[in-house]
Amino acid sequence: MPAQTITQPRLGPVGAARWAWRQVTSMRTALFLLLLLAVAALPGSIWPQRSINPARTAAYIEDHPTLGPWLDRLGFFEVYASPWFSAVYLLLFISLVGCVLPRIRVHGRMLRMPPPRVPQRLERLEHHALARTTRPAPEVLATVREALGRRYRVAIKDDSSLSAETGYLRETGNIAFHLALIGILVGVAVGHIYGWKGDVIVPVGSTFANTESRYDTIQYGPRVDPDNFAPFSLTLDKLTVTFEDQVGGRGQFGSPRDFVAEVTTRSAPGAAAQRHTLKVNHPVEMDGATVFLLGNGYAPVITVRDKDGKVLYSQATPFLSRDNNYTSSGAVKVPAARPKQLGFFGNFLPTGIISDDQGPISIFPDAKNPALALGLFEGDLAPGGRASSVYTLDTAAMTQVKAAGSDEVLRLWITPGETVQLPDGRGSITFDRVERWAGLSIRHDPAKDFTLASALLALAALIAQLTIKRRRVFVRVTPENAGSRVVVAALSKTDDEGLAGLVQRLAAVAGDRIDPDDVPAGEQAAAGGARGIRP
Amino acid sequence: MNTTLALYANYSIYSAIAVLTLAMLAYAAYLARAIPAREVARTPERVLVGAGAPAAQVEVGSGAAAVDAGRKMAGIGRSFAWLATACIGVSMVLRGLAVHRPPLGNLYEFVCAAAFAAMLGFCVWNQRRDVSWLGTFVVTPVLIMLLLAVKAFYTEASSLMPALRSYWLTIHVSMATISVGVFTLGAIVAALYLVLDRYARAGHTPRWVRVLPSPAELERTSYSLHIVAFPLWTFTVIAGAIWARQAWASYWNWDPKEVWSFIIWVVYAAFLHARATSGITRQKAQWIALAGFACIIVNYTIVNLYFVGQHSYSGM
Ligand code: HEM
């Protein structure tokens, strides 16, 4: 049977491992993994990502009750942390290391070796030229060496032949590029492990102290100790926001134009105060963290009094904007109210109207005609001591208050300076004035400079490897009748349009006369690369 | 905001579209008429090898009489191409002056700038070495780009949202533009290569194809263009990351636009790899380059218009 004659070579465990390693580190595998990486990155742009937009992710899952949970299980809402995405890039980098390390060794050896010997039949090389000269061979070779310049490493043998090589930096660049990619990966990883990032809303006039509990949301890496945060503080003195109110057209009218915050910072309690201007694109660098201005909104100053006029609540209350016109929602919680705790819930409208279909909304983002549209609940604000967000009301243990002498629920519409009496002796609520808040993002990434340096190194090395040509040049001088016959030839590892020109130039330098007739007829076609050369 | 200047900027783009149409016609005529001339001009070149000097003389000498018909059209095409490029450039300058900022703030402006980069690249290249054969294939897509810009992506001139107010806008977006311009030229040549290569292997050569360089030459040209564009794109991504850290506090957020920039980068890296991998044919490699260009198109159309992200500033 013919099948028996084909014996598969037996691979022992070591052989099998070696075989697997060769597969993983082959260029074909690298290519496949690169393409796979591109495909694996794709879902992250299609489905909302939890780390970027948790609200949109939750809404998506709710809207797709069958598909959503499955996608969630498969990691489609956390693509860049999913096992399959990680597997692809880790394999790619393993392949990269396996590929680059041996090449470093080979290249190092290469750098220490002299240029290779001159081949026997230079006329066989695609790019070559012949010249005649009456000058002695050493002189001819010296002129060629001079013409080659300092970029070439040159070896002259027996005063009759010369070999030269240049472009070692190409391979150096290639290796440096691939190592720099590893550098980027390491930098990103270190940033995740030792870095942290927190967001906080700070109303104008308030001070933020950098402690974990002050943040609205905070994420930190496994090796971060939040007790050791730098003890700086920051006071928001002023926030100026301007909006487009000149140009019409879709997506332009009402777009934000400028946010500027004036802040006072202290590197530690009791340290000297420093004033800064914090703007979008102009973060403030603190010791151990950088402060960015990312968002803004309104914090109406609201006062609630009981029926005797005693102040139960009075502060700037941040409302979160829900649309481009800053229709903002928020809550006012008055735990000191008696006999039952009070909670107001509703919208702040910088330019408010009551529309027929959508109810109270804002039609422009600036505070042109501000109003609060609120409803009122009474009962237990935090049943069982449960903590809830300051921007929403947990109404599980509360009932909505009705308007006085009516079955309709109470709807409050309050403009700045106005005080509204609450029904049945529950006191009053005053909308004192409008303040703004700044959304600050505070971040620490100890590896960002390293990552940037790696990226720039990758770029420089990439340019080197793509532009530098690896070339070898050979010259042989043989005595002939009265003078010498010079053969110049060149080789390149890659496409190299300049090679033919180089050969011509060197032949012109070496000889008194270039002799096209000397090329044997059969080799003319082979030397076709010289087409288009201008002398 | 100066509305008069903005209006003139629009007139200038309309002029560019008109002139580009003329350039397209001239280059198409060149392709149609240059064929016999080119064949005559080419034959002696092939024979002369080894030494450069005589080759150059003969090329000019024997070709001169026959080349006329097509040459003239190529010359007209070249003038119109320059004029159209100038019109796009003027339009961008006027728009920039109208809004007191670099005209790179929304999709409309970006498409105009990419068209400008592609045309300028082609014109300069054509000046240094005759690539009239490429004329039709460059001018036509650019014309389509501009028509789309005017018809589908048009955005009124206006100031920028705060996140875009930074000199990084100029650096990041102008690099992206130049890079997309060069990628466009590269994709055009790659597509031509794949078509010509198919003809060559089928042993069938339509007339218009005979004006073009050999498939091998096209393949090399495509590679050269791509290795110019790839580092530019690399720089674009790095500059974007630096800017993202300033504007959004984090240098990489996997925002849809960033995802696609990354995908584009990876696909083109795969192209360069494929070309250096033995056992992968040149054809396959060039297909990967075209896939990269498809990703660029997705990035500037679908991602800009439909995906929700921090880059939603296309003004639409
Ligand atoms: C993170 C993944 C990688 C990226 C983004 C990447 C990118 C690149 C780029 C852009 C080039 C330039 C191509 C050229 O010189 O024309 C290149 C060259 C090269 N890469 Fe990679 N590479 C990666 C991984 C790998 C791996 C895993 C291997 C080994 C299997 C490898 C081996 C090579 C080799 C040998 C070259 C030189 C090709 C030549 O001679 O021109 N690379 N790489």
- Indicate the domain borders of chain B: 1-42+52-159, 160-316
pLDDT at A290: 93
- pLDDT at site B54: 37
**Is A296 an 8 Å CB contact of chain B?**
no
Ligand 1 pocket mutation, candidates A21, A22, A23, A27, criterion most atoms within 8 A of CB: A27
Q: What is the mean pLDDT of residues A508-534?
A: 50
Pair A91, A130 in one domain: no
Half-sphere exposure of A423 (CA within 13 A, CB side): 17
Does residue B27 have a pLDDT over 60? yes
Taking contacts as CB-CB distances below 8 angstroms, the residues of chain A near B256 are 44-45
pLDDT at B236 over 90: yes
Q: Is the CB of A492 under 6 A from ligand 1?
A: no
Question: Are B249 and A290 an interchain contact pair (Cβ–Cβ within 8 Å)?
Answer: yes
In whole angstroms, give the CA distance from residue A329 to residue A347: 4
Strands A233-243 and A217-220, how do they pair? unpaired
Q: Do A38 and B270 touch (CB under 8 A)?
A: yes
A88 Cβ below 6 A of ligand 1: no
Q: What's the pLDDT score for residue A6? A: 52
- Tell whether A418 and A282 lie within a shared domain: yes
Same domain assignment for residues A338 and A481? no
> CA B234 to CA B268: how far, in whole Å?
10
Quick check: A250 and B247 CB within 8 A? no
With cut-offs at 50, 70 and 90, classify the pLDDT of residue B160.
low
Residue A179: its H or E element: helix A168-194
| B residues 282-311 lying closer than 8 A (beta carbon) to A | 288, 295, 303, 307-308
Q: Which of A294, A459, A527 sits opposite B248 (nearest CB)?
A: A294
CATH number of the structural domain spanning residue A132: 3.30.310.80
Task: Kindly identify which residue of chain B lies nearest to residue A468, measuring between CA atoms.
Answer: B227
pLDDT tens per residue, range B106-118: 888 888 999 999 9
The predicted structure's pLDDT at residue B310:
58
Interface subset of A 384-413, CB within 8 angstroms of B? none
Burial class (CB in 10 A: 0-12, 13-18, 19+), B252: middle
- For residues A462 and A442, the answer to whether their CB atoms sit within 8 Å is no
Q: What is the pLDDT of residues A444-461, one digit of tens each?
A: 999 999 999 999 999 999
| Gap between the Cα atoms of A30 and A178, Å rounded | 12
Q: Both A214 and A360 in a single domain?
A: yes
Higher pLDDT, A348 or B40: A348
The pLDDT, as a whole number, for residue B314 is 43
Residue A8 maps to a domain: no
Q: Report whether B13 contacts B88 (CB < 8 A).
A: yes
Q: What is the pLDDT of residue B65?
A: 42
Does residue A282 belong to the interface with chain B, where contact is any CB pair within 8 Å? yes
pLDDT-derived band at B313, boundaries 50, 70, 90: very low
Point out the domain boundary residue: A435, A464, A493: A464
Q: What is the mean pLDDT of chain A?
A: 87
- Residue located nearest, by CA, to atom 5 of ligand 1: B269
What pLDDT, on a 0 to 100 scale, did the predictor assign at position B66?
43
Please give the interface size between A and B, counted as residue pairs whose CB atoms are below 8 Å apart. 186
CA of B273 to the centre of ligand 1 (A): 5
Which range scores top for mean pLDDT: A121-125, A249-253, B81-85?
Answer: B81-85
| Start-to-end C-alpha separation, chain B | 19
Whether residues A157 and A228 share a domain: the answer is no
Angle at A282 between CA A280 and CA A283, to 5 degrees: 100
A445 CB neighbours in chain B (<8 A) are: 250
pLDDT value at residue A241: 87
Q: CA angle at residue A287 from A281 to A289, to 5 degrees?
A: 50
B chain contacts of residue A448, beta-carbon cutoff 8 Å: 245, 251
| Residue nearest atom 7 in ligand 1 by C-alpha distance | B269
Q: What residues in B contact A82, CB-CB < 8 Å?
A: none
Whether residues A458 and A491 fall in one domain: no
Residue B84 backbone dihedrals phi, psi, to 5 degrees: -60, -40
pLDDT of residue B52: 36
Residues 6+ apart with CB under 8 A from A20: none
Q: Measure A34 CA to nearest chain B CA, in Å.
A: 6
Coil/strand/helix, residue A323: coil
Lowest mean pLDDT among A195-204, B130-139, B201-210: B201-210
Q: Is B207 in the pocket of ligand 1 (CB under 6 A)?
A: no
> Confidence band (pLDDT; 50, 70, 90) for B152?
confident
Residue A179 Cβ contacting ligand 1 at under 6 Å = no
In sequence order, the 6+-apart residues with CB closer than 8 A to the CB of A231 are A209, A210, A211, A267, A268, A269
- Of the listed ranges A318-332, B32-46, B48-62, the one predicted with least confidence: B48-62
Give the Å distance between the CA of A231 and the centre of ligand 1.
46
Domain count, chain A: 4
Supply the pLDDT for residue A96. 93
Contacts of A93 in chain B (CB under 8 A): none
Per-residue confidence (pLDDT) for residue A526, from 0 to 100: 38
**Which tens digits make up the pLDDT trace of A361-399?**
888 888 889 999 999 999 998 887 776 778 888 888 899
Is the C-beta atom of B270 inside 6 A of ligand 1? no
Whether A269 and A124 share a structural domain: no
A-chain residue closest to B169, CA distance? A281
For ligand 1, atom 35: residue with the closest CA: A27
How confident is the model over A408-447, as pLDDT tens digits?
899 999 999 999 999 988 999 999 999 999 999 999 999 9
Distance from Cα A470 to the centre of ligand 1, integer Å? 16
pLDDT at A402 over 70: yes
pLDDT in tens, B194-207: 999 999 888 887 87
- The answer, for B60 touching chain A at a CB cutoff of 8 Å, is no
Residues A105, A119, single domain; the answer is: no
For residue A157, give both structure tokens. 């043998």
Q: What is the 3-state secondary structure (H, E, C) of chain B?
A: CCHHHHHHHHHHHHHHHHHHHHHHHHHHHHHHHCHHHHHHHHHHHHHCCCCHHHHHHHHHHHHHHHHHHHHHHHHHHHHHHHHHHHHHHHHHHHHHHHHCCCCCCCHHHHHHHHHHHHHHHHHHHHHHCCCHHHHHHHHHHHHHHHHHHHHCCCCCCCCCCHHHCCHHHHHHHHHHHHHHHHHHHHHHHHHHHHHHHHHHHHCCCCHHHHHCCCHHHHHHHHHHHHHHHHHHHHHHHHHHHHHHHHHHCCCCCCCHHHHHHHHHHHHHHHHHHHHHCCCCCHHHHHHHHHHHHHHHHHHHCHHHHHCCCCCCCCCC
Identify which of A31, A462, A531 has the shortest CB distance to residue B234: A462
Q: Are residues A390 and A513 in the same domain?
A: no
pLDDT on residue B170: 83
pLDDT band at B91 (very low <50, low <70, confident <90, very high): very high
Q: How far is the CA of A91 from the centre of ligand 1 (A)?
A: 15
d(CA A4, CA B211): 57
Please report, rounded to a whole number, the percentage of residues in chain A having pLDDT higher than 70: 92
A438 Cα–ligand 1 center, Å: 46
Per-residue pLDDT at B196: 92
pLDDT at A512 over 70: yes
Nearest CA to ligand 1 atom 20: B273
- Cβ A312 vs Cβ A281: under 8 Å: no
Tokens in use for B196?
A: 């010509």
**Residue A201 located in a structural domain:** yes
Under 8 Å between Cβ of B6 and B157: yes
Proportion of chain B above pLDDT 90, given as a percent = 48
Structure tokens, B62: 């024997």
Q: Is the link from the previous residue into A116 a cis peptide, with omega within 30 of 0?
A: no
Report if residue A474 sits inside a domain. Answer: yes
Q: If you average pLDDT over residues A508-530, what whole number do you get?
A: 53
Asked if residue A25 has its Cβ within 6 Å of ligand 1, the reply is yes
Q: Are residues A355 and A385 in the same domain?
A: yes
Ligand 1 atom nearest residue B269's Cα: 10
Q: Are residues A123 and A69 in the same domain?
A: no
* Chain A nearest CA to B204, separation (Å): 23
Residue A264: other Cβ atoms inside 10 A: 14
Looking at the predicted structure, is the pLDDT value of residue A167 above 50?
Answer: yes
Q: What local confidence, expressed as pLDDT, does residue B125 receive?
A: 93
Task: Give the mean model confidence (pLDDT) for residues B262-286.
Answer: 93
Q: What does pTM read for this prediction?
A: 0.84
* Contact between chains at B56 and A41 (C-beta distance less than 8 A): no
Name every chain B residue with its beta carbon within 8 A of the beta carbon of A37.
266
Verify whether ligand 1 is closer than 6 Å to residue A30 (CB atom): yes
Q: Give, as one character, the DSSP assignment of residue A530.
A: G
Query: Is the pLDDT score of B43 beyond 50?
Result: no
Q: What is the average pLDDT score of chain B?
A: 82
Q: Are residues A213 and A362 part of one domain?
A: yes
- Contact status of A174 with chain B (Cβ, < 8 Å): no
Chain A nearest-CA residue for B304: A45
Residue A5 is assigned to a structural domain of this protein: no
Q: Which domain holds residue A244?
A: 196-444
Distance from CA of A202 to the nearest CA of B (A): 17
Are A463 and A327 in contact by the 8 Å Cβ rule? The answer is no
